[in-house]
Amino acid sequence: MAKLEPKNNDRLSGVLVSKDFHYHIMDAKELSEFTDVNTTEIIQKQKISFHSTFSLVIFHLEQMFGEIKILDNESIWYLILLL
């Protein structure tokens, strides 16, 4: 169940599950409780050389992944979370 009931124009996130012509959006952590699907978490780090402005990187990441969160930008390295 949702923690809060969504309102108009709220962004929903989760996994769309279809069973017996019924569709449900649920958190990936709940899949094993309601389905026979198992989940695995993968953590990946990437280092990419980029020769332009950081705002251009942010723009392209937002276009590909939607919402992103900058966790650390105090040094010359940036830590970005793709949501």
Question: 55-72: b or e for each residue (b if 16 or more CB lie within 10 Å)?
Answer: eeeeeeeeeeeeeeeeee
- Domain span including residue 35: 1-41
Same domain as 81, residue 47? yes
The whole-chain average pLDDT of the chain stands at 78
Q: What is the pLDDT of residue 83?
A: 59
Contact 63, 76 (CB under 8 A): no
pTM: 0.40
Same domain as 53, residue 32? no
Coil vs helix vs strand at 10: coil
Same domain as 33, residue 56? no
Determine which of 20-24, 26-30, 42-46, 71-75 has the lowest per-residue pLDDT on average: 71-75
User: For the segment 27-51, what is each residue's pLDDT rounded down to a tens digit?
Assistant: 877 877 777 777 777 787 777 787 8
Same domain as 16, residue 29? yes
Same domain as 3, residue 23? yes
pLDDT of residue 53 exceeding 80: yes
Q: Which residue has the higher pLDDT, 39 or 62?
A: 62
Same domain as 81, residue 52? yes
Same domain as 49, residue 32? no
Same domain as 55, residue 37? no
- DSSP string of 16-68, one letter each residue: EEEETTEEEEE-GGGHHHHSS---------------S-HHHHHHHHHHHHS-E
Contact 80, 70 (CB under 8 A): yes
Q: What percent of the chain has pLDDT over 70?
A: 83
**Structural domain total, the chain:** 2
pLDDT of residue 1 exceeding 70: no
